[in-house]
Amino acid sequence: MEFTAEMIAALVGGEIVGDKQVKVSTVGSIDGGREGALAYLTNPKYEPFVYTSKASIILVDKTFEPKQPVAATLVKVADVGACVLSLLEMYNAARPRKTGISRMASINERAEVGEECYVGDFTVIEAGAKVGRDCQIYPQCYIGDGVTVGEGTKIYPGVKIYEGCRIGRNCIIHAGAVIGADGFGFAPKPDGTFAKIPQLGNVVIEDNVEIGANTCIDRAKTESTIIRSGVKLDNLIQIGHNVEIGANTVSSAQMGIAGTSKIGSNCFVAGQVGIADHVTIGNGVRIGSKSGIDKDVADGEIRFGYPALPGMQYHRSFAVFRRLPELEKKVRELDKKLTEE
């Protein structure tokens, strides 16, 4: 789909500098723009690319004044970042939408699939499953017995949702995610072997949740593992049994949460964070990458490091321990002088 500079300016309330009829059909970065692409300048350090970019249209701040000739048409706006988001949403909405149920899908006669759904090749929907209207279920997915999927949810190829789990409305689950596999529960026996603890609960994912590729969310031992509304989980995340993640919390890749821990709402958890079992993290908490959390964290706190420390304490400690080799050398020199005296 093509958009002219005039159309874009009208959509974002921008001012055109250049050819208002120039057309674009895709979005690109300012440093790698090509003809027919819309680029944007959000960081001043990338300004030199404005003068060399081959992009046809560039979004810039309304205060931007070029220091050199610019080949592209400029569209000046009040907030470049917000305008880019709006345009990307519009472009995404205009993309062709898959429709129809494949003859190579296996849908149990006791399953329910709503109107206007897409179900791809080799997807299996088991007995008692209920899929709401306008869902997109891509090839090779598995929807287990009694699973419910809310309307407008998109499930990408290879997703596996085990029996009894509940997925809300307008969720996105990316390729390879596994929802509802058994929690990691084993009881040691006197002979040194382990007895498997049955995992009888399920996973409940509320509305507007996005789950990244190859992320795993384990079913509860009893009751439910719960992912509240608006949560965004990156790729390669492990969520243990009976965990609860509060509304609108965001986590980067490779975070792991052990069983029965709880994270509050509106938290940000960076990449490769590890959270021990039975830990409670409050609302609005920020946790830096590679931190290890083994104790409860109060509302609004910041944690860094392993074991994780409060933000400023960590930075003060880091200022010391990064100089430990130098300090050790000085201590040895002082010790040698004291011994000689």
Residue 201: Cβ-neighbour burial (10 angstroms; 0-12, 13-18, 19+):
buried
CA distances from 36 to 4, 131, 188, 213, 268 (A): 10, 40, 64, 31, 37
Region at 322 (left for phi over 0; alpha for psi -120 to 50; beta for the rest)? alpha
Q: Which tokens sit at 201? A: 């609960």
Yes or no: say if 120 and 139 are a contact pair by the CB < 8 Å rule: yes
Considering the candidates 174, 241, 278, 315, report the single residue annotated as catalytic. Answer: 241
CA-to-CA distance for 227 and 218, rounded, in angstroms? Answer: 11
Bridge partners of 61?
77
Can you tell me whether residue 241 is helix, strand or coil? coil
Q: Is 278 a residue of the active site?
A: no
Computed on alpha carbons and rounded to an integer, the radius of gyration of the chain in Å comes to 26
Q: Which tokens sit at 145? A: 């017995």
Could you tell me the sign of the dihedral formed by the alpha carbons of 57, 25, 157, 244, in that order? positive
CA-to-CA distance for 129 and 226, rounded, in angstroms? Answer: 19
Sequence length of the chain is 341
Yes or no: say if 218 and 257 are a contact pair by the CB < 8 Å rule: no
Bridge partners of 178?
160, 216
CA distances from 42 to 19, 47, 64, 241 (A): 22, 9, 11, 41
Which sequence positions are flagged as catalytic? 241
